[in-house]
A and B are shown apart, each in its own frame.
Chain A
Amino acid sequence: MKITGSTSLVKRVLLLAFALVVLFGLWYAFRPEKLFINKRVDEAAPILSKGQPTPLFTGRFQRELHKTTGRGTVYQRPDGTRYLQLTDFSTSNAPALHVLLVNSKDIGANKDFAPTGKSSIDLGELKNTQGDQDYTIGSAVDLSQFNTVAIYSAGSNSNFGMAKLESF
């Protein structure tokens, strides 16, 4: 009787040890507590130390009426002034092309649009149909409202291409 009792005890201990190993293995594999525990970090941008302009928004151009490619990025200088930079930019040539800031809602429906003073901000004539170029953005412009760059032909009242700006 004593012997069988001790073997069952040994069995139980072995079973318990085995179960613990399995449980540890399952925990290690799935780490279920991580479903509930978030780890938040907040590292500084690697480039802000030297008085560099900070990128705020960016977006890639998509064609509307004419093939338009490249990227539009809004930067903020250390003194607070902002500018739009076009990079790898290319569009069709046409007279009186302007760079506009518009609200994406206003140009979703139709590709041709006549921007009025309130619904768009004119950053000036397009300097070049190819290549990198900068445009100053006025300090009063609300970029959460005017969140899309449009290459607008005043001559034909059409939108050549646009870039929706997204936050960095």
Chain B
Amino acid sequence: MRFARLIGLAVAITFVAPGLAIAQSGAIVETGTFHGVVHKTIGRATIYASSNGRVLRLTHFTTSNGPNLHVLLIAANDAQDDENFLTKKIERVDLGPLKGNEGDQNYTIPAGTDLSKYKAVSIFCEHFNANFGTAPLER
């Protein structure tokens, strides 16, 4: 009896668990479209849940090229202008330098990032403290 249960458990772990993991992987957590703030910025930002953690993916993306551009998650619903960054010192999670000012690209989101707090993506120029564009994220 105990042996049969063990086999049942083993079968469940072997066949069901990977299925569950795959079903959850690739799920869309949040998405939103960019609007240009300091510079024209267009495209979509989508956060996917994957087996290796959450990933921010930019698609149909175009912004101005500039010095020292970074991809940030900011603790705001949206940002209309760069003053948000200068005066209010909005909390941010830096996902790294922008890989390219055009095209599809992925950024790993650090584990433990609270997405109910960081609700918008910002393309941010560290040199001029300027917000090139923002994408508010929604479920």
Contact = CB atoms under 8 A, between A and B. Distances in A.
A37 B28 contact: no
A167 B44 contact: yes
A39 B65 contact: yes
B70 to A, nearest CB: 14
Given A30-B67, A50-B22, A88 B105 contact: no
B100 A39 contact: yes
Interface residues of B, number: 30
Given A34-B65, A88-B139, A46 B48 contact: yes
Interface stretch (A52-60, A93-101, A117-125, A148-156): A52-60
Contact of A46 (B22, B65, B106): B106
A41 B104 contact: yes
Contact of B44 (A37, A39, A40, A168): A168
Nearest to A41: B100
A38 B65 contact: yes
A37 B65 CA distance: 7
Contacts of A52: 22, 25-26
B8 interface: no
Interface in B14-40: 22, 25-26, 28, 31, 33
A40 B100 contact: yes
Contact of B28 (A35, A55, A167): A55
Contacts of B66: 31, 34
A26 B94 CA distance: 26
B99 interface: yes
Interface string B101-121: 111111000000000000000
A43 B103 CA distance: 8
B67 A167 contact: no
Contacts of A28: 67
12 contacts: A28-B67, A34-B64, A34-B66, A35-B65, A39-B102, A43-B57, A43-B99, A45-B57, A53-B26, A55-B28, A60-B138, A73-B28
Q: Which 7 A-B pairs have the closest CB atoms?
A: A41-B100, A47-B26, A52-B26, A31-B67, A34-B65, A39-B100, A40-B102
